[in-house]
A and B are shown apart, each in its own frame.
Chain A
Amino acid sequence: MPSTKEGLQRLLDFFVYGMLRASERLGNAPLFLRTIEEEGLRKFLTTNMPQFQAPDDPAEACRQYMQAGDEGGLFDSSDSVFRGDGDSVHAEIGDKCVYRRVCTMRHDEGLPVHCIRAFALAEMLRIRLDADFDWKLERFGRPCRITLTRAKWK
């Protein structure tokens, strides 16, 4: 284990940054990042968040997912807000997002920001609610704004 919290964050930055660059170089970042999230969630959702039971409402499911992650010590969800109806979720993710440093790095390098949190939320909704949601990073900033919309073809 890294000996400090900063060391752990730097290790995470290293792998997330590498993963994003590799996904782009291989030609299809959305495919690779979605697959990484899907495989990771299928393996770890029950072990990392054993209490998490997604309700039918997607915004509430996102809120409870973040809360479960928070309780499991994975991330701080205190500055994340979710609103929406049955067909869309509007999320605001604040400064405490663990991926923010990498996103900022990429933003400063002029590279597209692939929101790992949005990929995770969309995959969680697909796995737990059997519903396809497309996501869009409406704004990268403080806070980041994401919209998840129920896919039109299912």
Chain B
Amino acid sequence: MTDLWERIEETIDELSHLTDIKSAAVVRRDGLVVTHTLPEGVDPKIVAAMTAAIVGTSEMATIQLSQGRFVRAIVESEQGKLLSLGAGEEALLVALVYDDANLGLVLMAMERAAKQVEEILRSPG
């Protein structure tokens, strides 16, 4: 594995240790998995493709509705929330969080992690 990949993995590990976060992943915008801490039984390939699709369609909806720049997508379900946002031009950051999570704190941590991923990817490989 490359140094870049290891640095991204460290960022995701750190994010996943936050109490309110169940698991997290970095995926490519074309739907391929980079690294993840998703639980066993969850197919990371499907999560990656779904996340890329959710963000892609959300960005398109934002443009079509003239709502300015897309910031993040939040999918709320009975037992948790799926949050996804851009991490530079090439990647997306996704986190599965508990239903009663403190969203403010989680989003702050995610934005910091997304910036780190973006910087790692911008650095020469």
Which residues of chain A have a CB within 8 Å of any CB of chain B?
25-28, 30-32, 34-35, 132, 152-154
Contacts and interface: CB of A to CB of B under 8 A. Distances in A.
B105 interface: no
Nearest to A30: B30
A27 B31 contact: no
B4 A26 contact: no
Interface of B: 1-2, 4-5, 8, 29-32, 34, 49, 52-53, 55-61, 121, 125
Contacts of A28: 29-31, 52-53, 55-57, 60
Contact of B56 (A26, A34, A132): A26
User: Which of A25, A26, A30, A153 lies at the interface centre, i.e. has the most chain B CB atoms within 10 A of its CB?
Assistant: A153
A154 B28 CA distance: 12
A30 B8 CA distance: 22
Contacts of B55: 28
Contacts of A34: 30-32
A35 B56 CA distance: 14
Given A28-B52, A28-B56, A153-B5, A132 B32 contact: yes
Given A30-B29, A30-B30, A154 B1 contact: yes
A31 B2 contact: no
Nearest to B120: A153
B34 A153 contact: yes
